[in-house]
Structure 1
Amino acid sequence: MNQQEINRILDEMEKKAEKDIEVVFNKRLKSILDQMLQMHKKFGKNGEASWTDVNKYNRFNQEMKMITQQLNADYKAIIKLIRESEERLYIERYLMLAYLLQQSTGEEMGFKIPSVEVIKSAIDNLVEFLSLPKVFEEHRNSIIRRLNIEIAQSLQAGESYTDMAIRIENAMGWTRKKAILVARTEGGRVRSQADLAVEEQASKTARLTKLWMSSLDTRVRKSHRKLDGQKADEDGYFHYGSWKSKAPRLWGVASMDIQCRCHTIYMVNGKLPEYRRGKDYMDDTYQKKLAARIDAYMEDTGLTYKQAFNKAYKDVKPPSVTVPFMSFGEWRKQFSGEG
């Protein structure tokens, strides 16, 4: 196991949560479209409802009230989904990184499974207007207003059901993307909080150095590309201009945090930790060759730290060794019953 593998596992967990959110919105879209179809059939002529017919006897407001009630329930369900995902992400990130650092150094670091209070504290956003309920209250109100406008305008323009459906699909697609963006940003923030908790505990017995690792692709924002490969200062902060942060997504600045896909990479006692059966990834000679190759790739070819790491990892091979090995699953059993 190494840090790249841990990140890939957690990325898949985040994708699962995003798919669950998509299911909620897809079900609601189908429900609203069916509701509008029935409205056209009931109040329309030749399959097209008019503003006059639908608005008669307060029918339009009744239709929108029903949609509002449904969306209220949906956003409560989405908040619950994200909360549950954040709890899983925090626990798994914490335990996997703790396992990697402890087993790769051979040092007992005194890790304990995070308590409910610790997890809740890490998940809660201390900035009130950035808390999940506040953020999604704004999202919910926005989509309700937009649906109200789109449906009313469609009726007033005398559009067909098909034209109205396109308007509704576009509106729901917009709010679905915003919800997934929030989930992705919050999941990353929670992962960073877990990193800091592990860092605090591991630093008691080992010397930790952390680096900023940007994503591979060209979508990386300019600021984060500049941060790529930067080592944190002696107090654990990364710096960009007048801003500082101890981990990705913890700047407290929207342009630096939203949809950030960067990660922290830890070096323990000057080495990149890795632990698996039959290979000594902490061997001094191997670590020196790996570090030199990473630096060379970044300097000579302009690769990001992540690209250089992946390329060097394939090129430089660790020595074989026969030592007692404990899998992550075995190591994790010691925490059974705690919490």
Structure 2
Amino acid sequence: MNQQEINQILDEMEKKAEKDIEVVFNKRLKAILAQMLEMHRKFGRNGEASWTDVNKYNRFNQEMKLIAQQLNADYKAIIKLIRESEERLYIERYLMMAYLLQQSTDEEMGFKIPSVEMIQAALANPVEFLTLPKVFEAHRNDIIRRLNIEIAQSFQAGESYTDMAIRIENAMGWTRKKAILVARTEGGRIKSQVDLAIEEQASKTARLTKVWMSSLDTRVRKSHRMLDGQKADKDGYFHYGAWKSKAPRLWGVASMDIQCRCHTIYMVNGKLPEYRRGRDYMDDTYQKQLAARIDAYMTDLGLTYRQAFNKAYKQVKPPSVTVPFMSYEEWRKQLSEEE
């Protein structure tokens, strides 16, 4: 196990949460379309409903009120989904990172299963207006307002059900993307909070240094590409211009935090931690060769830290070794029994 593999496992967990959010919005879209189809059937002639008939006896407002109530319940469900996902992310990242660091050193680091209080403190956004209920309250109000406008304009223009459906699908697609963006940003913030907790505990017995690792693709913002490969200062901060942060997504600046896909890579006592059966990844010679190859690829080929790491990792091989091996599952079970 290494940090790249841990990141990949957690990325898959986040994708699962995003798919669950999409399911909620798809169900609501289907229900709203069915509701509008029924209105066209009841009040329409030749496939078109009359605004006069739809608006008579407060019918339109009653239908919009029903949509608002349903969306309110949907957003409550989405908040619950995200919070459950965040809790899983916190626990899994904390334990996997703890296992990796513990098994990569000879020191007992004193890791324990995170308490409920520890997790809740990490989940709480310190900025009041950026908490999930506040953010999604604004999103819910926006989509209700937009649906009211789109549906009313469609009826007033005498559009067919098909034209109205396109309007509704576009509106729901817009709010679905915003919800997934929030989930992605919050998931990243939680992973960074975990890293700080791991760093605090592991630093009691080992020397930890950390490096900023950007994503591979061209969608990486300029500031984060410039941060790529930067080592944190003696106080644990990364620097960009006048700003500083101890981890990705913790700058407190929207342009630096939103939808950031960067990671922190930790080095323990100057070595990149990795633990597998039959291989000594903490061997001094191997670690020096790996570090030198990474630096060379970044300097000579202009690769990002992640690209250089992946390329060097494939080429530099650690020595074989016969030592007792404890799997992550065995280690986690043992940790639970000690609680």
TM-score tier, shorter chain, comes to over 0.9
Given residue 153 of structure 2, which amino acid in structure 1 is its aligned partner? Q
Aligned ranges for residues 118-197 of structure 1 at < 5 Å? 118-197=118-197
Match of 1:273, SS? coil
Match of 2:307, SS? helix
CA contact 1:151–1:164 (8 Å) conserved in 2: yes
Aligned ranges for residues 1-339 of structure 1 at < 5 Å? 1-336=1-336
Q: Deviations over 1:138-159 (max 9, x none)?
A: 0000000000000011011110
Given residue 201 of structure 1, which amino acid in structure 2 is its aligned partner? Q
Write the distance in 1 (CA, Å) between the matches of 2:16 and 2:263.
19
Match of 2:219, SS? coil
Match of 1:205, SS? coil
Deviation at 1:186, TM superposition (A): 0.2
Deviation at 1:334, TM superposition (A): 2.3
Match of 2:104, SS? helix
Write the distance in 2 (CA, Å) between the matches of 1:192 and 1:106.
26
Which runs of 5 or more structure 2 residues have no equivalent in the other structure?
A: none
Given residue 23 of structure 1, which amino acid in structure 2 is its aligned partner? V
Write the distance in 2 (CA, Å) between the matches of 1:149 and 1:219.
34
Match of 1:266, SS? strand
Deviation at 1:95, TM superposition (A): 0.5
Write the distance in 2 (CA, Å) between the matches of 1:58 and 1:207.
69
Q: How many pairs align? A: 339
Q: State the percentage of identical aligned residues.
A: 88
Write the distance in 2 (CA, Å) between the matches of 1:248 and 1:266.
13
Q: Deviations over 1:75-104 (max 9, x none)?
A: 000000000000000000000001100101
CA contact 1:79–1:133 (8 Å) conserved in 2: yes
- What is the root-mean-square deviation in Å for CA atoms of aligned residues? 0.9
CA contact 1:43–1:53 (8 Å) conserved in 2: yes
Deviation at 1:106, TM superposition (A): 2.4
Deviation at 1:328, TM superposition (A): 0.4
CA contact 1:14–1:187 (8 Å) conserved in 2: yes
Once the two structures are overlaid, the 10-residue window that deviates more, 134-143 or 41-50, is 41-50
Write the distance in 1 (CA, Å) between the matches of 2:226 and 2:253.
17
Write the distance in 1 (CA, Å) between the matches of 2:116 and 2:50.
54
